Amino acid sequence: MKKVKSKRVIFILIGTLLLTIIACGTGTSELPTATTLPPATQTSLPTSTAMPLYLSVSLGTMPLKEEGSSPKYSIDAQVPVLKGSDDPRVNQFNDEMALLIQQEIGVFKDNVRELAPVPGSNGSSLTAKYSLLSGPGNIMSIKFDIMKYIAGAAHPGTHSRTLTYDLEAGVDMSLQGLFISGSNYLQVISDYCLLKLKSTIPDLFSTGVDPVAANYQSWNITPDGLLITFDEYQVAAYALGPQTVVIPYSDLKTVINPQGPLAAFLPK
């Protein structure tokens, strides 16, 4: 009896031990949670600055020649043309230059058609040449010198036309836009021109220098100053020809727009 009881006790102990081992082996253990990494930061690459448009183009000349026999006439004109880019701002500049010359040719031909034949005449003629007066850069300030002779006239006539173009903005610049809004810039320009012209022209036509916009339509930006051109008969007799005055930018500093293109010419 004692042996049977002993065996039973042993079996119970073994069974309990097995259950304990099984319980420990089948217990659920949680897996370690994945580590959440901070979002990757994006490193911005340096942005390249666009090259100014004026560095991509060059100014060339397209000659325009034409002759007619009934009535007799000849045309010799220069058309400034920007080359090297198909940018719309470049195309607009080229279109404006071509239009300006075509306008001059149209007026000339109308004058020629109205003439009665002049026996022995060499005919009528139109010559148009241009100069780029601004320094290297974004501003294209162009002056056209136009000479026209109509058969039978006592002498040829000359006049100027100017255009100053902001290539980067793609717009024509105005004289008013160079100066502080509401300033007396025309008076300042007029006073300087009057003083200079009086010193060289005894019989000055002073009304041609009055501070009105119509007297200052022919202007150019140059490295040395603001160039004002007075066509023949505007301030002096025909024999004296057209007159020009260069106004140093320092003499315009009180009226120059500090955010405008002329500010770059003033001392810092």
φ/ψ of residue 8, rounded to 5: -65, -40
Question: With the CA atoms of 77, 104, 152 and 243 taken in that order, what torsion angle do they form, in degrees rounded to the nearest 10?
Answer: -80
| CATH number of residue 78's parent domain | 3.30.565.40
Asked which of 158, 173, 188 is the last residue of a domain, the reply is 173
Q: How many domains does the chain have?
A: 2
**Cβ neighbours around 133 below 10 Å, total:** 18
Same domain, 126 and 196: no
Task: Identify whether 22 is part of a domain.
Answer: no
pLDDT in tens, 80-110: 999 999 999 999 999 999 999 999 999 999 9
pLDDT in tens, 33-75: 434 444 544 445 555 568 999 999 999 999 999 999 888 999 9
Closest CA to 81 of 90, 71, 69: 90
Domain holding 188, by residue range, is 177-268
Asked which of 142, 173, 204 is the last residue of a domain, the reply is 173
State how far the Cα of 92 lies from the Cα of 81, in Å rounded to an integer: 11
